[in-house]
Amino acid sequence: RMDQALLLVRNELPGQGLRLAALSGCCHQCSYQFLAFVPPSNGSLTEPGTAAVMVDTQHPLTLLLSGSVGDRELCKIQYHFGEFGNYSLVVKTLSTSTKTVSCDLVINEGPINSYLPILFAFLVYMGILAVLIVGRLFMKIDPVRNWVYKKLNPRETDRLINSELGSPNTTDSVSSDPTPRLWSTASRQRLRSLDTFRGLSLIIMVFVNYGGGKYWFFKHESWNGLTVADLVFPWFVFIMGTSISLSLSSMLRYGSSKQKVLGKIIWRSFLLILLGIIVVNPNYCLGPLSWDNLRIPGVLQRLGFTYLVVAAVELLFTRAGTESGTLEMPCPALQDILPYWPQWIFILVLEVIWLCLTFLLPVPGCPRGYLGPGGIGDFGNYPNCTGGAAGYIDRLLLGEKHIYQHPSSSVVYQTTMPYDPEGILGTINTILMAFLGLQAGKIILFYKDQHKQIMSRFVIWSIVMGIISAILTKCCKEEGFIPINKNLWSISYVTTTSCFAFILLLLIYYLVDVKRLWSGAPFFYPGMNSILVYIGHEVFENYFPFKWKMQDSQSHAEHLTQNLTATTLWVVISYLLYRRRIFWKI
């Protein structure tokens, strides 16, 4: 199967059976897992004892061979097997006097390079990009542009010619309403970098949700650590916080009352939560939705609640004059932070609550402050403690049947307890992530049109977040005070992803809004219709042309083709909607 190799163990030891066990390189503090028993040889090399097993190829494995009698360790081999490879592990005695045993790994059939489809896809998309760039350069040549316009829209071309000859058509004049120009002007005033950032996060999220070609680095990390898939949701939350800052400022500046704005915030949050529970619910795969198995947490639910808290707090404590810089500040270096001290105190109180619940809440049968995956992790001592306090709170308040049933830890750590990565406790740190994005929006508002100031502040924030992450994690994946963990939405996870978010926003802002070297396409278009694209890709996930029956379901190439096609289709759909000025806003 995909991500597997065949291992044939040949036991040439007479009269002694073998036990084969394995340990995955990504399974932290796990015990060896039994794979197979290899019978002894009959004393003749022509009939050794054999056993065939399938081994994982996604991560390095440590193989342990021990005798079936006395459990004596004979040999240990660490190796990273290749996909669809065929291997033999030959166990024999080198010296009968010393009873020295050798274990030799032999490649019978070489593995395939499962990463070639990624390279091919990259080259295809680069080729499409090159064609579009060349086409745009040609369109700057007047004769070419006129010829293309005439072929695409001959009636409009004739109207322009007649107009230039002095005989404009009244009907055409009325129909050529100036709205497009006004709308175009408005779109130029809007920061395209924010929509581009949002669209980039969304498109990676769509690709990951569709399967990411079934590559392990396009899936969520089993527990501690980061993959590509773990970056996109916090980035989306981050840019939502930035948009909150800009939209609230705009509404209040144009005279909307706080009561009216609060009503819009509550209504939008309610709609997001409702859509998440009813429309985008993974428990539909279990059959018709019912209250017995309704998953209550979810991505849209967390977005809705986070939006409600961050927007409401910002609306409650915002003061006139803070964004214009008219308020006098004792420390000019912190003039984009100090005016918002009530909001910061609120966030810090939330973080203290998260720390206290995570490290001090007693969880039955688990050590206090446990942050592990349970299952076979921690040498199998706490199999039912998945997520520690976070998992316990969800199971206690929501019930086991109302949370996610198949967490990412279930494959590597063989966990059996339900655990929801969008659970209650992690929402606190999601609020922190959105608030950091809101701070980015405050920087944009405070230093309006001062590009160097804005970019320098983004760099400073990125460095600060990076330093906090380094301290919390001790620059280690597993051994830090608070490891980076998407399932828990740990503080270090938020500071690390926000560090990357500030840098990414800085780059996009510089290229799109400062130097205008890039229009933001194609990510700008889904960024303008993010809710529609997200809900649409979830609802139509199993419909053609987003999904079809594969010839070979064990091929990364076919999965990657299908997932990239589906993702590209949503980019095209968002572009067509943009051209027709159709935007679904909640």
Using the structure block, give the residue that is written with the tokens 């015990």.
Answer: 31
Q: 416, 415, 435: which is closest to 427 by C-alpha?
A: 435
Task: Quote the tokens at residue 461.
Answer: 């924030």
Q: Burial of 137 by CB count in 10 Å (0-12 exposed, 13-18 middle, 19+ buried)?
A: exposed
Q: 76, 56, 59: which is closest to 3 by C-alpha?
A: 56
Q: What HEC string does 494-529 produce? A: HHHHHHHHHHHHHHHHHHHHHCCCCCCCCCHHHHHC
Long-range contacts, stretch 335-342, CB < 8 angstroms, 24+ apart: 335/446, 336/439, 336/442, 336/443, 336/446, 336/447, 336/457, 337/439, 340/439, 340/442, 342/317
Catalytic residue of the set 28, 59, 80, 220? 220
> Under a CB-based contact definition with an 8 Å cutoff, are residues 415 and 382 in contact?
no
Cβ within 8 Å of residue 39, ≥6 positions away: 11, 17, 49, 50, 51
- Taking CA atoms, 496 is separated from 60, 136, 261, 407, 455, in Å, by 26, 38, 32, 22, 19
- Taking CA atoms, 276 is separated from 51, 402, 432, 527, in Å, by 48, 13, 21, 19
Active-site annotation holds for 220: yes
Looking only at the bridges linking them, the beta strands covering 61-67 and 18-24 are antiparallel
For the beta sheet containing 73-79, the strands, ordered from the edge strand earlier in sequence to the opposite edge, are 33-38, 18-24, 61-67, 73-79
Looking only at the bridges linking them, the beta strands covering 86-95 and 18-24 are unpaired
Looking only at the bridges linking them, the beta strands covering 100-109 and 18-24 are unpaired
* Helix extents (H) in 166-228: 170-175, 179-189, 192-209
DSSP per position, 352-399:
HHHHHHHHHS--TTS-TT--S--TTGGGGT-TT-TTTHHHHHHHHHT-
Give the Cα separation of 33 and 20 in Å (integer): 9
Give the Cα separation of 176 and 285 in Å (integer): 50
Side-chain half-sphere of 303: how many Cα atoms within 13 Å? 25
Angle between the 154-164 and 142-152 helix axes, to the nearest 10 degrees?
A: 120
Greatest Cα-to-Cα distance within the chain, rounded to the nearest angstrom: 109
- Taking CA atoms, 105 is separated from 28, 88, 204, in Å, by 25, 6, 39
Helix, strand or coil, per DSSP, at residue 120: helix
Q: 343, 349, 347, 350: which is closest to 314 by C-alpha?
A: 343
**Size of the chain, expressed as the number of residues it contains:** 586
Give the Cα separation of 192 and 211 in Å (integer): 29
> Under a CB-based contact definition with an 8 Å cutoff, are residues 298 and 280 in contact?
yes
Looking at the annotation, which residues are catalytic?
A: 220
